[in-house]
A and B are shown apart, each in its own frame.
Chain A
């Protein structure tokens, strides 16, 4: 049943965001959303509906049509979207430019901020980062292909806590990692 599927996916996402840096595994998604990783599709199916808005960092129109059809969610401008989806092939420059535009909430309503669903190449190797913050016992490590410039951009955006953005990272193997705004990331050289 589809609802058991999204229930399980939700618990995986919840676990990921509750324990930043922890590698969780998503099940195979049931809906095929073309260019999206099937796990990304599952995350969208789990979180999106007609009460929220989304934006995909991509020129193509087809994927937004599919997302709308499957979730009932509304496509909107980047600076208004509740969920911003970054497909895997997006260039670093494009990601950084896009992130500067997403909403970060306001002091009375810090929850009115964007959640970034970010397809990355790998969450098991690449750059080496150290994470600290709530949900992490002392510190933890994350090995991922996200470029340090993107991490730096995130830090700039999240500088005025509680304002900021939360990341759900998904790699091509279906690993998922949550990085809420409270997580401090430093690159380990």
Chain B
């Protein structure tokens, strides 16, 4: 017998997290407070996402964990191992096989389905934190739908650089009510949340917040009429391995030639694409 309960957390903790998840689903984009538990990984390393995963997961689930597009990075592997060892569930690297996907900083390239749940790890859930340090006051701002501060941040970026310089965690407006941090996914992934087929859950362990965007929900990236929202562009650039250009690319430098090249950031998608091409 394992020394730990099924899915590590005790039933009481799961219940509380589950209730917070349900409230989050009922109020899209609203940050529901919860009593974040101590986890065997450091706060800020995905404890929020992990607690949601552990509270939801059951014997028949298939889990995929990604860290910045990779299934094989230390953080992803450790989280996957912890869940696997305390539940015995199957894990996968293939997006289409997973019932639950926990992720840090990316939404997979493979389109999600409505029988899948996307769980994103959130370091900073509060989109107004750079405007106002006090949690008490930001909470009041959300209550009053007072979001000029969020726009002001983008406006300042435009004044300085003639474009928004926010690469990741670009704020979105959810169901015409709440401004929300989508977690540090690249802007490239923001449109995937809008009218997504899958439920998306967001967990911030250190900040003790859970929030959600149900499927088929209006999610709009903040923008101005004369400075519309734009995703990262990779014009003229393509993945060296697959030749794909309609995906999020990582930039690398060839150490021998000093040449710059690009690869798909979503490594499992890259592998699937190559396997298919080779007819495997």
Please report A residues at the B interface, Cβ cutoff 8 Å. Answer: 1, 3-4, 6-8, 10-11, 13-14, 17-19, 46-47, 49, 51-52, 106-108, 110-111, 115, 134-138, 161-162, 166, 180-182
Evaluate contact between A134 and B217: CB separation under 8 angstroms: yes
Which residue among B18, B22, B214, B216 has the maximum number of chain A CB atoms within 10 Å of its CB?
Answer: B22
A17→B30 contact, CB < 8 A: no
- The answer to whether A4 touches B59 (Cβ under 8 A) is yes
Q: A18-B25, A181-B27 are in contact. List 18 more A-B contacts (CB 8 A).
A: A3-B5, A7-B7, A14-B25, A17-B22, A19-B114, A19-B214, A47-B15, A49-B15, A52-B19, A111-B32, A134-B214, A135-B214, A137-B215, A138-B216, A162-B177, A166-B23, A166-B26, A180-B26
State whether the Cβ of B188 lies closer than 8 Å to any Cβ in chain A: no
Residues in chain B within 8 A of chain A (CB atoms): 5-7, 11-12, 14-16, 18-23, 25-28, 30, 32-33, 55-59, 114, 139-140, 142-144, 175, 177-178, 199, 213-218
Check B22–A107 contact: CB distance below 8 A: no
The answer to whether B22 and A134 have CB atoms under 8 Å apart is no
Measured between C-beta atoms, what is the minimum distance from B189 to chain A in Å?
Answer: 19
How far is B135's CA from A108's CA once the two chains are assembled, in angstroms? 11
| B residues near A161, Cβ cutoff 8 Å | 177
Contacts of A166 in B (CB 8 A): 22-23, 26
For B14, list chain A residues within 8 Å (CB): 7
Looking at the assembled complex, report how far the CB atom of B220 sits from the nearest CB atom of chain A, in whole angstroms: 13
Which residue among B18, B30, B139 has the maximum number of chain A CB atoms within 10 Å of its CB? B18
What residues of chain A lie closer than 8 Å to B20, measured between beta carbons?
Answer: 111
25 contacts between A and B (CB under 8 A): A6-B15, A7-B56, A8-B58, A10-B18, A10-B56, A14-B199, A17-B26, A18-B199, A18-B214, A18-B215, A19-B215, A49-B12, A49-B16, A108-B139, A108-B142, A134-B217, A135-B216, A135-B217, A162-B30, A166-B22, A166-B26, A180-B25, A181-B26, A182-B26, A182-B175
Known contacts A19-B114, A111-B23, A180-B26; A134/B175 CB under 8 A:
yes
- Residues of A within 8 Å of B57, CB to CB, are 7
| Complex Cα–Cα for A107 and B23 (A) | 14
A47 to chain B, nearest CB (A): 6
Are A107 and B15 touching (Cβ within 8 A)?
no
Interface centre among A4, A18, A181 (most CB of B within 10 A): A18
How far is it, in angstroms, between the C-alpha of A166 and the C-alpha of B177 when the chains are bound?
17
Closest to B55 in A: A10
Tell me if A7 and B58 are in contact (CB < 8 A): yes
